[in-house]
Amino acid sequence: QKEVEQDPGPLSVPEGAIVSLNCTYSNSAFQYFMWYRQYSRKGPELLMYTYSSGNKEDGRFTAQVDKSSKYISLFIRDSQPSDSATYLCAMWGISGGSYIPTFGRGTSLIVHP
Amino acid sequence: SAVISQKPSRDICQRGTSLTIQCQVDSQVTMMFWYRQQPGQSLTLIATANQGSEATYESGFVIDKFPISRPNLTFSTLTVSNMSPEDSSIYLCSVWTSGSSYNEQFFGPGTRLTVL
C-alpha cells in the first residue's frame, strides 16, 4: 500500500460545479497536509495547507482534514475552466529531524465551459 | 514571495553523460530543495541544499548520482550523473519563504530531461 493514495482521474466537470478532490494516507505521523495546483508544463503552486483536523477556507477553496479516517479533501466551489489543472496532495512528517513530504500522484481536473 | 528560474528548461541527453541543472532565486533563502517528477509518478524530494554545508539526501538518492552545489543564498545546482533512461524526468527546484502570517512554498518551472 502506498503511503498516499490519490485517484489520477481525469475528473471532468461542467463550469460552476462543486469539485471534490481526495487523498487517503496510511502514516498517522503525518502532521501537515497540503494541496498544490500544477498547470501543464509548469511547477506546482501551493494552494493551501493545514496542520490539524478540520476545515480551512480560502476563497473558493476549502481544505478538509480528517485525521481519524486518514482522509483529506479539497473542495472547489463555482469551478472555472481556469481551474483545469492537476491537483497534488502532500503529507508532511518528520524524518531525521526535518519535515519531509510524501506526495500523491495528482488528480487531473478538467472544467469544461 | 519568490521567483525561481531554472536552466535549462529542457534537454535531451545520451546515456552515460551528465547534466547540470541550475536554480536561481530572486531572494536569499536558507534552504533550497530539489525534487523529481517522473512520468506518472509522485513528486519526490531528492535532497535539501543548505549554503555552506553538504546537501542532505533522501532515501534512494545518493551524492555520487546527484551531486549538489550551493555556493550562495540565491543559487544551487543539481547534477544528474552517468544518466540512464530511468533518469528521464522533470527536475524541480523549490524554496520556502516566511510570510507575514504563514510560510509559503515556491517551485521553479522545472527542467524536463529525456535520456536516450
In tens, the pLDDT along A44-89 reads 999 999 988 889 999 999 999 999 999 999 999 999 999 999 999 9
On the question of pLDDT at B103 being above 90, the answer is no
Output the pLDDT for position A1. 61
Q: Spell out which residues of chain A touch residue B104, defining contact as CB-CB under 8 Å.
A: 46
State whether A104 and B109 contact (CB < 8 Å).
no
Q: If you count residue pairs, one on A and one on B, with CB atoms under 8 Å apart, how many are there?
A: 40
**pLDDT tens-digit series, residues A17-45:** 999 999 999 999 899 999 999 999 999 99
Query: What is the bridge-based pairing of β-strands B10-13 and B111-115?
Result: parallel
On the question of pLDDT at B49 being above 90, the answer is yes
State whether B45 and A104 contact (CB < 8 Å).
no
Residues B77, B78, B79, CA angle at the centre, nearest 5°? Answer: 120
Mean pLDDT of chain B: 94
Distance CA B116, CA B98 (A): 40
Distance CA A37, CA A53 (A): 21
Task: Give the pLDDT band (50/70/90) at residue B86.
Answer: very high
Mean pLDDT, range B106-115, rounded to an integer: 97
> Taking a C-beta distance cutoff of 8 angstroms, is the pair B33, B94 a contact?
yes
Picking from B56, B102, B110, the nearest residue to A43 by CB comes out as B110
If we measure between CA atoms, which residue out of B2, B6, B39, B11 comes closest to residue B108?
A: B6
> Taking a C-beta distance cutoff of 8 angstroms, is the pair A19, A10 a contact?
no
State whether A105 and B106 contact (CB < 8 Å).
no
Q: Hunting for cell 502532500 — which residue is that?
A: A90
A3 compared with B4, residue with greater pLDDT: B4
State whether A105 and B58 contact (CB < 8 Å).
no
Chain A touched by B41 (CB under 8 Å): yes
> Taking a C-beta distance cutoff of 8 angstroms, is the pair A98, A83 a contact?
no
